[in-house]
Amino acid sequence: MFGATVRHLAERAVEARRDADALACQAWNARMLAFQGPAQPSPALGDALNAGYRYLEVKCLGCDTHQTVALDIVRQPKSTPIHELERYMRCRQCSRSNGNGAIS
């Protein structure tokens, strides 16, 4: 008797979380465009994935090259705010010259 109600409410909770994560990502994207750069706070990596965002467009801090990074292969905890990934976002060429980590 209660099983159907529990399943229905659990499904609604999953949908509500996905919708909330999507709205948080959309708000962050709007702030990024408005401020022309990193905006804080940002959604967590796991929240972006839950909302259906699979890629992040990044710009190398050294040479302004644009690339796309798949969020599901980023080696950071899913609780990491996306704006904290900024320090790792350099192209391979700039990383070699600076000795830092790189994006492919």
pLDDT band at 104 (very low <50, low <70, confident <90, very high): very low
pLDDT tens string 4-51: 999 999 999 999 999 999 999 999 999 988 987 777 889 999 999 999
pLDDT at 98: 60
Q: Residue 56 is inside which H or E element, if any? A: strand 55-59
Please answer whether residues 86 and 69 qualify as being in contact, where contact means their C-beta atoms are separated by less than 8 angstroms. Answer: no
Whether residue 32 contacts residue 26, with contact meaning beta carbons closer than 8 Å, is answered with: no
DSSP secondary structure letter of residue 78: T
* 62, 98 contact by CB (below 8 A): yes
Residue 67 pLDDT:
83
What's the mean pLDDT when you consider all of the chain? 85
Which of the pair, 27 or 98, is modelled with greater confidence?
27
